[in-house]
Structure 1
Amino acid sequence: MTKQAFVALATCFNEDETINYEATRAQVRRQVAAGNNIMCAGTNGDFTALTHEEKIRLTEAVVDEVAGRAKVIVNAGMPATFETLQLAKAFDRIGVDGIAVITPFFIACTQDGLIRHFSTIADAVQTPLYLYDIPARTQNHIEPETARTLARHGNIAGIKDSGGALETLEAYLQVGREVPDFQVYSGPDHLVLWAMQNGAAGCISGLGNAMPDVLAAIVAAFNRGDETRAEQQQALFTAFRTELYALGYAPAMVKRALYLQDASVGASRQPALLPDDAQDAEILTLLKKFGLA
């Protein structure tokens, strides 16, 4: 199966914190030109800072800009099943390729609660549903056995694993081997190649916002059987990740790295970290080191 890269697209903002749709569309074009697919309203897209209506309008803009040239997945996950369902139905009408649902946050869930939550959403839409596990941010984790149960639902197509635990990723990959057509996408950027080598359908990357061509090169090289090239590009991707994330919180660092390449992306909505001149200088030095500025 041909592997695929999705970029968890950054949402661009104006100085008054309204969404800059034209700048966001420009980022879509940049990713599509590189050969990447799009995930919108995800963690790197500041989804928790967007209103219900903005998520719908943002998705409409992304789908319109992509115009069938790449695949689009959108995150509908909210703390309660009720609003998640409303968003998922709206995205279903827009016509995306997949609807990701992050585990509920703030509300503590049992595994049975998660099964009910995801099944309710999957029952209500025609678009394939993707589970989205990032326990460090939501405090709720999809256990591998729960993923196995959900994988047998006719409209749950796969999972995005952003937990960072290799043992969990391996367990999800085993589910993918056992259940036909259940796709596993890796979130951690240092595991893109490893995950594909071990059966993942591809990756959904935040770092790809700042380094789209390298991400696309990892996947393209793997798909054509050029392991040497894939390993070289993964090493470059990992090195940039390591140095960038040493400077601060990962999504914020990606957004600043992207901003320093293109100021039209703007800052994130408050209370996200404010721009820091000293930190920006370090990021710019890093971008120049890796030929990105």
Structure 2
Amino acid sequence: MSEKKEAFVALVTCFNDDETINYAATRAQVRRQVAAGNNIMCAGTNGDFSALTFDEKVRLCGEVVDEVGGKARVIVNAGMPATFETVKLARAFDRIGVDGIAVITPFFIACTQDGLERHFTTVADAVKTPIYLYDIPARTQNHIEPETARRLAAHGNIAGIKDSGGAQETLEAYMEVGRTVEGFDVYSGPDQLVHWALTNGAKGCISGLGNVMPEVLAKIVSGVNAGNEAQAKQAQEIFTAFRTDLYKLGYPPALVKRALFLRDPSVGLSRQPALLPDPAQDREIERILERYGL
């Protein structure tokens, strides 16, 4: 276990009441995560990226990088349905300077594996920043087959993959690619698999739930890094139980945002047409937060 494992939090984007981005509140969330020892992924699924404009993403990335100030690593998601816009975004992020650019599989446009390969290769060719493939088939309807990941891993500027598929066998297949291809790191997305993934060859995790439980997430990783299995296992049990309780109530990113909001209203609501607050659901979330001492 020589290689140090790392956690990224898929940071929420905070909004004002008029649905404009609240950059000051977003920076406060950055500070909270950095203080806990976590790295930042910005403009990901939990950051409402699909509800943000091009210019907002660019500004958001700049503000996050500025706030982090080199104290943690930053990955930003540039993936859009068309390769053309993805390249434009990636180039803008490349100029700002980040540690990695994640590229979610195109959504709405159904892709062949060949199409996915062209998409990722074109983006990776266009920038100097390392590119991370990002697979989340439940949301995009497009899936990077492990063999496609293996072919892409040979590209000099493709540094790894974030697997948010939720299937352990796919994660295992990606980790097999990581074992055989030098410089291809695997990051696990599902919050219930953090400990398992880190001890089975993943370089790290990228977590949405870490927005609400930054210290618990950091404890799983620090436990693994220190060889303290008991600490890692106990933190994972808390993380998994909290996830199970919270996600029973509906769409995970909306619930993460709402759980945060109930403790810190500065994070704001998500942009419409996302779920509107529901008093009965809020009471359920409150009960869960109290149960976990949050």
| TM-score bracket for the superposition, by shorter chain length | over 0.9
Taking every aligned residue pair, what percent have the same amino acid on both sides?
Answer: 77
Cα distance in structure 1, aligned partners of 2:195 and 2:182: 22
Q: 2:233 maps to what in 1?
A: 231
Cα distance in structure 1, aligned partners of 2:156 and 2:150: 12
Task: Provide structure 1 residue ranges, at least 5 long, that are not aligned to the other structure.
Answer: none
Query: Which has the higher mean CA deviation after the structures are superposed, 245-254 or 75-84?
Result: 245-254
1:119 to 118, 121, 134: 121
1:217 to 194, 216, 219: 219
Letter in 1 for 2:178: G
Deviations 1:194-238 (A, max 9, x none): 001110001000000000000000000110000011000000000
CA RMSD after TM alignment: 0.4
Q: 2:26 maps to what in 1?
A: 24
Q: 1:144 maps to what in 2?
A: 146
Letter in 1 for 2:150: R
Are 2:96 and 1:94 aligned?
A: yes
Q: 1:71 maps to what in 2?
A: 73
Letter in 2 for 1:18: T
Cα distance in structure 2, aligned partners of 1:202 and 1:193: 9
Cα distance in structure 1, aligned partners of 2:105 and 2:251: 21
Deviations 1:245-284 (A, max 9, x none): 0111111110001111110000000000001111011101
Letter in 1 for 2:14: C
Are 2:162 and 1:160 aligned?
A: yes
Cα distance in structure 1, aligned partners of 2:63 and 2:279: 32
Q: 1:39 maps to what in 2?
A: 41
What TM-score results when the alignment is normalised by the length of structure 2?
Answer: 0.99
| Deviating 4+ runs (over 6 angstroms) | none
1:58 to 50, 60, 68: 60
Letter in 1 for 2:254: A
1:192 to 191, 194, 208: 194
Secondary structure in 1 matching 2:144? coil
Secondary structure in 2 matching 1:25? helix
Are 2:51 and 1:49 aligned?
A: yes
Cα distance in structure 2, aligned partners of 1:237 and 1:133: 22
Letter in 1 for 2:49: F
Q: 1:201 maps to what in 2?
A: 203
Cα distance in structure 2, aligned partners of 1:99 and 1:249: 25
> Aligned-pair distance for 1:181?
1.4
> Aligned-pair distance for 1:154?
0.1
Letter in 2 for 1:3: K
Cα distance in structure 1, aligned partners of 2:263 and 2:119: 39
Cα distance in structure 2, aligned partners of 1:181 and 1:226: 26
The count of corresponding residues between Structure 1 and Structure 2 is 292
Cα distance in structure 2, aligned partners of 1:266 and 1:133: 28
Task: Provide structure 2 residue ranges, at least 5 long, that are not aligned to the other structure.
Answer: none
